[in-house]
Amino acid sequence: MAARAKRLGLVCLLFLAVAGPSRPGLLGASSQQPGSSKTVQPASARRIVSLVPSLTETLFAIGAGSNVVGVGTFDNFPPEVKALPRVGALIDPDVERILALRPDLVVTYGSQTQLETQLARVNIRTFSYRHGGIREILESLKELGAATGHTQDATALAARITAQLDAIRARVRGLKRPRTLLVLDRQPGALREIYASGGLGFMHDMLEAAGGDNVFADAKSESVQPSTETLIARAPDVIIEVRAEGLIEPSKVAAERNVWSTLASLPAVRTGRIHLLTGSQLVVPGPRVAQGTEMLARALHPDAFK
């Protein structure tokens, strides 16, 4: 179970990649649908079930953690959630167990329309998860604050994250921005089935804030699957691979970096600027987004952080 929990970042990340960027009707927050029975009223929520790891994290960060009574299968941050009941996740939400927890607010993925309809029927409010870039992270953070009666905490947290990001941007301002390949996943031990960040989404935003230019900034999607030929043609100066904790065994890090040596003409390979970074703050679109951004910035501009 621990190994599975470690993959939580990957879940969020590829959920984003799979769900696609432009489905506002399905993924938009239900608070924007006036007249619907699941409309979020500005009120406080006393019993919250959250199926979305990044929003579970947010709930704790804005002071609503004590009201969380149930979480999704993949939630493992902050450590407090480990003691909470599990109620399924994206494709297998357990309605019975959710109802048994008598929640007054359920945080759902936007695609869980069936679950949202069921909950609306029994007059339980839902907060529908919306994904996107850093701006959307901050917005849903504030909306979640409003929905749970923690408006002030949420506003303050959003301001704090914004300030942290601005500080990072200030540190790398004026420095040469390396052309960067941000790898989200690939087959272990081989340069196959590579998923890289495209020009949309919070991963791309984090990279740009950290002072790197995404080599796939022109791709209008959150992830791309470049061929070997495209990788050679894009010639990145830096390669950063990000994973949630535990996805790469420490003993394999050197071997996994060495996998890139077959593409000898890449500037990143020739200068050795290949980084394997692990940590859920890198891959979860939640309140730790500034910490993740700082990790990227330190890899891209080590001198700026001395």
Partner 1 sequence: MAPGTSARRPVHVRLAITVAGFGALTVLMIVLAPLIGSTHISLSRVFDPSIPFADNVDAQVFFVARLPRVLAAALVGAALATAGVVFQAMLRNPLATPFTLGVSAGSSLGAMLAILFGASATLGPLSPVPLASLGGAVLAAAIVYWLATQPGRPISTSVLLLAGVTLNSFFSALILFAQFIADYAQVYRAARWLMGDLDVGSFTPLYGSLPLILAAFAMFAVLPGALNLLTLGPDAAAARGVNVGRVQRMAFISASLATSAAVSLSGPIGFIGIVVPHLVRLLVGGDHRIVLPASALFGASFLIGCDLVARTVLAPVEIPVGVVTAMIGGPFFLWLLVRKG
Q: Which residues bind partner 1 (CB under 8 A)?
A: 3-4, 7-8, 10-11, 13-15, 17-18, 74, 89-92, 185, 187-193, 225-233, 235, 247, 249, 252, 262-265, 270
Q: Which is nearer to partner 1, 238 or 259 (CB)?
A: 259
Q: How many helices (H) and strands (E) does the chain have?
A: 14, 10
Smallest distance from the beta carbon of 216 to partner 1, in angstroms?
A: 9
DSSP assignments along 137-184, one per residue: HHHHHHHHHHHHT-HHHHHHHHHHHHHHHHHHHHHHTTS---EEEEEE
For tokens 């060495």, what's the residue? 258
Distances (CA, A) of 60 to 7, 31, 102, 103, 139: 20, 21, 19, 16, 16
* Phi (first) and psi of residue 247, to 5 degrees: -80, -20
Q: How far is the CB of 247 from partner 1 (least distance, A)?
A: 6
Shortest spacing between CB 73 and partner 1, in angstroms: 8
Distance in angstroms (rounded) separating the CA atoms of residues 137 and 128: 13
Q: Which CB, 12 or 209, lies closer to partner 1?
A: 12
User: What is the closest distance, in whole angstroms, from the C-beta atom of residue 169 to partner 1 in the complex?
Assistant: 29
Residue 89 or 165: the one with the smaller Cβ distance to partner 1 is: 89
Minimum separation from the CB atom of position 298 to partner 1 (A): 26
Give least dist CB 269 to partner 1, A. Answer: 8
Query: Of the candidates 172, 219, 155, which has an alpha carbon nearest to the alpha carbon of residue 20?
Result: 219
Cα→Cα distances 209→165, 235, 262, 285, 294, Å: 7, 21, 30, 14, 9
Q: Rank residues 150 and 204 by Cβ distance to partner 1 and give the closer one.
A: 204
Return the number of the residue (206 or 215) whose C-beta is nearest partner 1. 215
Output 261 or 291, the one with its CB closest to partner 1.
261
Secondary element (H or E) of residue 203: helix 202-209
Q: How far is the CB of 217 from partner 1 (least distance, A)?
A: 13
> CA 234 → CA 72, 179, 215, 227, 231, distances in Å?
39, 9, 6, 11, 5
Among residues 95, 88, 6, the alpha carbon closest in space to that of 52 is found at 88
Minimal distance, residue 32 CB to partner 1, in Å: 25
Q: Which of 170, 232 has the CB closer to partner 1?
A: 232
Q: Which of 48, 277, 201 is nearest to 58 (CA)?
A: 48
Residue 247 or 289: the one with the smaller Cβ distance to partner 1 is 247
Instruction: State whether the Cα torsion 293-295-298-301 is positive or negative.
Output: negative
